[in-house]
Structure 1
Amino acid sequence: MAAPPDPIYSFRGNQSQVHCLNFLLKAGSEKLISGTRTGHVFVWDLPTKSLSDSFLTGDGTCISVLVPDKQDYFLTHNRSDCVKKWTDWKCTLEFKTKCLQYCAAKLLQAPASRAQLVAFPGGEERSIQVASFEQEERVVSQMNYPGSAGNIMSLSDAGAGRVLALFEAGDLLLWDLRNPGKPQGAFRIDLGADDTAPSAAMCLAFSAPKSLGVVGSSDNTLHPFALDAGGFRTLPSTKITNEGTSHLCFRPDQKILAAACWDSKVRLFSARSIDSKTVFRPLAVLPTLVEDKSVSCVTFSDKPVESFGGKTILAAAGDACSILLWDIYN
């Protein structure tokens, strides 16, 4: 395993634990947005390396900040059951989700169009709702799931107009937005739990270009899988030193996977093909500033950041309230 690179910068002053991060990169304006446990959003200006704005997005933890491809607005999702659209830092649309789960909203590519949709857990009906926020808020699809699946933990765009959902027992359900009445596919990740200490699925990352996904859990194992025309396939698992993975994220080129871990570390893995199977090999372990604070979120910039030498940047944050930036093997 390679020696870990040092962070290239750190932002401090979030004032509470950071639960989500995203880059907002436009011509002449490069920002990093962090959402916190108190529901506040902090906007960090990357060229000046300073805080440019902060405001309250709503009651409850801000669990997701979403930036569409056009980058002319962004969305926040609060655990208090609200998704909001922000244009020029003002709330212009609001949607009540009626759901208090910690599963964060995710962007989806609409089938047969370039429009982007937003998927999030629904309310009493145990559903996943998909809405458009382009012009006005409207629900365009709804997928119901059985109560036996447990709590929904994570959502992902599976490509080709499909949405993938992870549930706490390790169940994966796949829907096609063009036929949302029943799942197109179902699969259970073997978490290897025993009856006395059951493991729980925590997070999901899926690479639509590679048809490759990874599930993180409360144990010390990453669980990769493939999803192709033949359905789901289990891939060789990868062990980590300590238990607990909060969040997973692929780099835009799909070559590196970053894992936010409970033991205050960010772990990096490369995807290698061995005997026609994808295997995740450890690349590096990135230490954070506070050794006993969990890392909650990791994200890569979706394009080069000119403020940091025109490179793709990795950002990570969590209970330590600070944000660290890395230049990872560019």
Structure 2
Amino acid sequence: MSRPTPSPVYTLRGAGGPLNTLHFSCNGGTTPLLFSGSGKGAIHIWNLNTRRPERIIEGHSGSSVIWVSTRESADNLISQGRDMQVCLWDLGEGRSKVVDSLWTGSVGFCQGSLLETNPGTCLLAVAGEQTEEIKIFELPSKTPVCTLVPEDKLGMVMCIKLWQPDSGAGPLLLAGYEDGSLLLWDVIQRSKLSHVKAHPEPVMCLTFDTKRLKGISGSSEKNLSSWILDTQNNLQLQDDVTLVNPGVSQLCVRGDSKLLASAGWDHRVRVFGWKKLRPLAVLQYHTDMVLSVAFSNHQDSRQRLLAAGSKDQRISLWSIYNEGPDTG
């Protein structure tokens, strides 16, 4: 018998705008937190024990917040807004202070990507002022590292993922573009390593599993495109997943490499087994487009959650497939 359709374990309301981005901070002995960024410029810091906002902060002059993340700990927040600013926050000991900011010049919706390189330092990749360029900075110094611009006309950069391979080589960056292309960049050499056409439409989102060297991307059409990175750093297209309805806002792989979640324009969250891309569940709660999905990083696997943020201004929290063997 098939399992009954799950329901959210609880929901969070009061964000006051569409939920563009979600980020968990649940490891260690501190209070489990969920950060959310809204289309009205507010960042909510939700206490997952009380299920209420611990703090609400604003640093983008009312402009839509498109990305939030943390550096090293939950006290070091980074946020990106449509005001073309990336803000670095100090949230320690009750503070809510912007300690620095970085102007990107980007008018698009491309979310930044963060990679911790050494204790206290990290790399930040963001879309640049020119539509096809990606700029990489070292933080907290804001030192420019490089600018990556493809030779071919691929249109606007839509999504990026910065990561460090186990081989010891320099950081690599995956980027999806407006013409449906995926490019793999060598950050140190400032060179393109591989290029594939993954979609006929703009690449709206991508996620990459650095353990399995496998990724997946989505667009405004019905197909998710999966791909792998071979030992020569070549992108190779693999299987497609055909969705019932077109349009995906975001994709996320759980930290144990077992589950994939998609945020659908059809108001639904879909869950797949990451290994074989087998459909596992369709989560129905939201009344408008789902814009963001994130898996929690609880150390205890039984506490793991999936969060979904929607244009309907609500966040749904789900507890699914936290037990048993590989889900396939």
TM-score by length of 2: 0.88
| 1:245 and 2:252 correspond | no
Cα contact 1:158–1:207 (8 A) shared by 2: no
| 1:128 and 2:137 correspond | no
* Aligned twin of 1:3: 4
Q: CA deviation at 1:148?
A: 1.1
* Aligned twin of 2:325: none
C-alpha distance in 2 between matches for 1:151 and 1:2: 42
* Aligned twin of 1:55: 57
Q: CA deviation at 1:27?
A: 2.7
Cα contact 1:109–1:159 (8 A) shared by 2: no
Q: How big is each residue's C-alpha offset from its partner over 1:25-81, in whole Å with a ceiling of 9 and x where there is no partner?
A: 353322211101111111111111112221222142110001234443010011221
Task: State the superposition RMSD in angstroms.
Answer: 1.9
Q: How big is each residue's C-alpha offset from its partner over 1:80-103, in whole Å with a ceiling of 9 and x where there is no partner?
A: 211111111211110001111100
Label 1:71 to 1:50 Cα distance change in 2 as closer, same or farther (>3 A): closer
Tell me the number of residue pairs that the alignment of Structure 1 and Structure 2 aligns.
308
| 1:28 and 2:30 correspond | yes
Amino acid at match of 1:103: C
Amino acid at match of 2:303: K
Cα contact 1:64–1:77 (8 A) shared by 2: yes
Post-superposition, which runs of at least 4 consecutive aligned residues in structure 1 deviate over 4 A? none
Cα contact 1:299–1:314 (8 A) shared by 2: yes
Amino acid at match of 1:91: V
Amino acid at match of 2:285: T
Cα contact 1:299–1:315 (8 A) shared by 2: yes
Is the partner of 1:148 in helix, strand or coil?
coil
- In structure 1, the gaps of 5 or more residues are 194-198, 273-278
Alignment partner for residue 183 of structure 2, among 173, 179, 184?
A: 173
Which structure 2 residues correspond to residues 1-330 of structure 1 after superposition, within 5 A? Answer: 2-25=3-26, 27-59=29-61, 60-88=63-91, 89-110=96-117, 113=118, 115-124=121-130, 126-134=132-140, 136-146=141-151, 148-160=153-165, 161-180=171-190, 182-189=191-198, 191=199, 193=200, 199-230=201-232, 231-272=234-275, 279-290=276-287, 293-304=288-299, 311-330=303-322
**Percent identity among equivalent residues?**
28
C-alpha distance in 2 between matches for 1:28 and 1:205: 27
Q: How big is each residue's C-alpha offset from its partner over 1:277-318, in whole Å with a ceiling of 9 and x where there is no partner?
A: xx311010000232xx0000000112347xxx9511111011
C-alpha distance in 1 between matches for 2:289 and 2:221: 14
C-alpha distance in 1 between matches for 2:75 and 2:29: 11
* Aligned twin of 1:276: none
* Aligned twin of 1:196: none
- In structure 2, the gaps of 5 or more residues are 166-170, 323-328
Cα contact 1:19–1:297 (8 A) shared by 2: yes
Cα contact 1:125–1:144 (8 A) shared by 2: no
Cα contact 1:20–1:297 (8 A) shared by 2: yes
